[in-house]
Amino acid sequence: IFVAMSVPLSMCIAFLVLPSFGFTLNMIVLFAFLLGLGIVVDDAIVVIENTHRIYHDEHLDIVTAAKKAAGEVFLPVLSGTATTLAPFFPL
C-alpha cells in the first residue's frame, strides 16, 4: 500500500516542484521520471518478494521478516540500482 501511494504522490510533487527549479517538461525529464519509476517499483518488488519468502519459510512476524528481508537484499538492490544509473551520470 505504501509503495502504491508513494509513487503517484512523489510524481505529483515532482511535477509541481519542477517549474520552481527552472526545468521544463521535455523528453529527457519524462524519461528520467519513467526510469525513476521503474527503479522504485523494481526495488520494492524485490524487497516484498524476499519478505514474503522469509515470512513463510521462517514463520516470523511480518515486521521482523520485513526488517530481515530488507537487510538481506540491501546491497544487491543498491548495486543493481547503481549499475542501472551509472551510464546516465555523464548526462
Report the alpha-carbon distance of residue 69 to residue 61 in Å, rounded.
12
Contact 54, 65 (CB under 8 A): yes
18: Cα separation from own chain's centroid? 20
Whether residue 2 is predicted with pLDDT greater than 80 in this model: the reply is no
Mean pLDDT for 32-57 is 91
Going from N- to C-terminal start, the domains of the chain cover 2-88
Whether residue 3 is predicted with pLDDT greater than 70 in this model: the reply is no
Mean pLDDT for 70-76 is 96
What are the residues whose beta carbons fall under 8 Å from the beta carbon of 28, sequence distance 6 or more? 91
Q: What is the DSSP string of 26-83?
A: -HHHHHHHHHHHHHHHHHHHHHHHHHHHHHHHH---HHHHHHHHHHHHHHHHHHHHHH
| pLDDT tens digits along 17-38 | 989 988 888 898 888 889 888 8
pLDDT band at 49; cut points 50, 70, 90: very high
Average pLDDT, the chain: 90
Q: For the whole model, what pTM was predicted?
A: 0.77
Report the alpha-carbon distance of residue 80 to residue 24 in Å, rounded.
29
